[in-house]
Amino acid sequence: MNKISNPKKTDWPEILKRPTQTYDAIEGTVLEVFEDIKKNGDTAVSKYTEKFDGVKLDSILVAQGEIDAATTQVSQELKDAIALAKANIEKFHTAQQTEKVTVQTTEGVNCWQEKRPIQKVGLYIPGGTAPLFSTILMLAVPAKIAGCSELVLCTPPGKDGKVNPVVLYTAALCGIDKIFKVGGIQAIGAMTFGTETIPNVYKLFGPGNQFVTVAKQMATKYDVAIDMPAGPSELLVVADDSADAAFVASDLLSQAEHGVDSQVILVSTSEQLIEEVEQEVENQLNMLPRKDIAAKAIENSKLIYVGSDSEALDLINEYGPEHFIICTKNEDFYVDNVINAGSVFIGNYTPESAGDYASGTNHTLPTNGYAKQYSGVNLDSFKKSITFQKISESGIQKIGPAIELMAEAEGLQAHKNAVTLRLNALKKN
């Protein structure tokens, strides 16, 4: 593992680089697929599914019979676990509901704000080496609470042309309208433009690999909103001598096993803890079924020693981690002062896995430093705010002269006239 001691601030940008390709390196491939789908619809989607996923499908729409069969293939124990997670996610996101905001800004001038659901949303669920059925809960549950009327789900098929049974079971449990066996760039392109089979949507949600992330960003050029640029998973742990090295190592590995392009970082004020964690990572790694994937990600890992908590905090805010675990004696210092983080986990008994599955918080979070300007998925992600105003006769008389002056100062005579006509009409009455 890459150990770094007291790095200079000038070296932080290089040290904290993510192991991902740039947008520019992937843009050409994404654009080619997008243009093909825009022109050729389902035919292009099938072509790229065969090319990228290695499977030729008769139908990309998941049939009801497949969903029914999947339900029987999921153990009752797993169904119960999913139900517990779903209940906690529902509780946390339902609590995020807000009342409409109403205020009289001036006598006779009433303004209010109400939230409305986004009608059509697309949910991307990664497949590949780990079918993330938990992501369905994280996206579909708040979408349903928000009142979205159409939910479209795309997920890559396996080599056998099927979708993992747990994915189908969870999707059906959450009331997904349409499920399609499509992944990668072609899934994002299909939900962006719409095809003969796959509807277009107004907003795209869900994490994915670097190609999916760039595809989502490109979708914004075609009038489709996205939740955030959510790419390969990452975790930063800050820990001191009060931390349990085995716990810390397990958290680092839990993210490392996501994919070879994941990144995990330990920042510590204890050189001894760093040594202990490094040994624990080695010990635990050898016991993992996904050892090869985790080992590759560990190559991108950093063990960083710093001399003080304040320096550690500055480095953490510079990095802006997707997941941020605090295992220190003075945890309040970090909790109160962290600015850039997707989701924060506090204390030795709060593993990142809890947020991934069942604590109730959302695990669809900004990566690649986007925690500096993006929030993780929440209830408001599936809504938009609409403002309303109603002005009485007395109200327009109070604010009208100010509007006239401001419009005239900007050279917008028609704006002024719209007020002047009303004020003159009131003078005649």
Q: Do 164 and 245 have their domain in common? A: no
- Torsion angle of the four alpha carbons 219, 369, 3, 354, in this order, in degrees rounded to the nearest 10: -90
Q: Do 204 and 343 have their domain in common? A: no
User: Within a domain: residue 34?
Assistant: yes
pLDDT of residue 300: 85
Q: Domain end: 188, 206, 228, which one?
A: 228
User: Within a domain: residue 375?
Assistant: no
Task: Provide the residue type at 234 as one letter.
Answer: E
For the stretch 313-327, pLDDT in tens is 999 999 999 999 999
- In angstroms, rounded to a whole number, what is the distance separating the alpha carbons of residues 218 and 189? 9
For the stretch 236-250, pLDDT in tens is 999 999 999 999 999
Query: Could you tell me the pTM of the whole model?
Result: 0.93
Residue 280's contacts (CB-CB under 8 Å, 6 or more residues apart) are 245, 246, 248, 249, 250
Q: Count how many Cα atoms sit within 13 Å of the Cα of residue 352 in the half-sphere of its side chain.
A: 31
User: Within a domain: residue 186?
Assistant: yes
Query: Tokens in use for 128?
Result: 């590949």
pLDDT of residue 111: 98
Q: Do 210 and 250 have their domain in common? A: no
Give the structural domain span for 327: 2-17+232-360
Residue 323 among the catalytic residues: yes
For the stretch 336-360, pLDDT in tens is 999 999 999 999 999 999 999 999 9
Q: Do 170 and 211 have their domain in common? A: yes
For the segment 219-240, the average pLDDT, to the nearest whole number, is 93
Q: Do 351 and 421 have their domain in common? A: no
- In angstroms, rounded to a whole number, what is the distance separating the alpha carbons of residues 117 and 311? 42
What confidence tier does 230 reach under pLDDT thresholds 50, 70, 90?
Answer: confident
pLDDT of residue 101: 96
Q: Do 197 and 67 have their domain in common? A: yes
Of 322, 352, 393, 404, the catalytic one is 322
Q: Do 408 and 352 have their domain in common? A: no
Domain count, the chain: 3
Q: Indicate the average pLDDT of the chain.
A: 95
Q: Do 244 and 161 have their domain in common? A: no
Q: Do 10 and 53 have their domain in common? A: no
Q: Do 6 and 28 have their domain in common? A: no
User: Within a domain: residue 380?
Assistant: no
Instruction: Tell whether the model's pLDDT for residue 20 goes beyond 90.
Output: no
Residue 280 among the catalytic residues: no
For the segment 35-40, the average pLDDT, to the nearest whole number, is 98
Task: Provide the residue type at 229 as one letter.
Answer: P
Instruction: Tell whether the model's pLDDT for residue 183 goes beyond 90.
Output: yes
Of 93, 234, 258, 323, the catalytic one is 323
Q: Do 48 and 175 have their domain in common? A: yes
For the segment 45-59, the average pLDDT, to the nearest whole number, is 94
Q: Do 236 and 115 have their domain in common? A: no
User: Within a domain: residue 270?
Assistant: yes
User: Within a domain: residue 385?
Assistant: no
User: Within a domain: residue 372?
Assistant: no
pLDDT of residue 22: 67
Instruction: Tell whether the model's pLDDT for residue 388 goes beyond 70.
Output: yes
CATH number for position 418: 1.20.5.1300
